[in-house]
Amino acid sequence: MESLAFTSKSLGDTFALAKAFSEVLGPESIVFLSGELGAGKTAFVQGIARALGSENPVTSPTFNLMQEYDVPSGQTIFHFDLYRIEDEDELGETGLLDVAGIEGPTFIEWGEPFQSLLGEDFFEIKIERVAEDANAEAVPKDANAESNDAAADKNNNSTVANSDHFNRLFTFSAHGKEAEKLTRGFTCKL
């Protein structure tokens, strides 16, 4: 199993990571995101949708356990939040099993209890809030990082971006042959 770690110091960094990851994503990729509330799971998926050119998130008509992002390539990105899903019957109603690995790249928050239902080929992205290193020198951001941050601010309609003084440690792991193969091309310079 391949595993790669990156430290995101801002929402812009998270969007840059999402952009890099969007480039290795396959049409059948299944991605589990883990991390506590507020870690940045949804922000990462928003970064994916944005990187692939989605302008407006299409909200599911029923309730937002699932969101679909239509992107100009003609693909649909699926995004599930299974926080409130308690058993396999409820999971069935979300439609996850009908689309994951079939209809388009699929991102799943809080999916750990159901991981075994989705086959053996998938990515796991673990996001942990970590304290900023008080001794680290401030690193001037390059122009590219600034434009990412500006885009992040524009896209961020929840709380104030980058205001919680924590970095995010992202650990990407690939399980299964296909995911491992895709991950070999994955790098990101923050």
Ligand X SMILES: Nc1ncnc2c1ncn2[C@@H]1O[C@H](COP(=O)(O)OP(=O)(O)O)[C@@H](O)[C@H]1O
Minimum CB distance to Mg ion smaller for 41 or for 50: 41
Closest separation in Å from C-beta 143 to Mg ion: 30
Closest separation in Å from C-beta 109 to Mg ion: 5
Beta-bridge partner residues of 68: 58, 78
8 binds, among ligand X, Mg ion, none (CB under 5 to 8 A by kind): ligand X
Angle at 149 between CA 146 and CA 155, to 5 degrees: 145
Minimum CB distance to Mg ion smaller for 127 or for 145: 127
Q: Hey, what long-range contacts does 86-93 have (CB within 8 A, 24 or more apart)?
A: 88/114, 88/117, 91/117
Please give the C-alpha separations between residue 83 and each of 46, 114, 121, 156, in angstroms, as whole numbers.
18, 11, 22, 22
Closest separation in Å from C-beta 38 to Mg ion: 8
Q: Is-contact 17 6, C-beta < 8 A?
A: yes
Q: Please give the residue ranges that form the binding site for ligand X (CB under 6 A).
A: 8, 10-11, 13-14, 35, 37-43, 109, 156, 158-159, 161-162, 164, 168
Minimum CB distance to Mg ion smaller for 40 or for 121: 40
Smallest CA-to-CA distance from 25 within 61, 67, 71 is with 71
Minimum CB distance to ligand X smaller for 30 or for 121: 30
13 binds, among Mg ion, ligand X, none (CB under 5 to 8 A by kind): ligand X
124 binds, among ligand X, Mg ion, none (CB under 5 to 8 A by kind): none
11 binds, among ligand X, Mg ion, none (CB under 5 to 8 A by kind): ligand X
- For residue 90, the one-letter residue type is E
- Collapsing DSSP states into helix, strand and coil, what is residue 16? helix
C-beta atoms surrounding 73 within 10 Å? 10
Minimum CB distance to ligand X smaller for 153 or for 180: 153
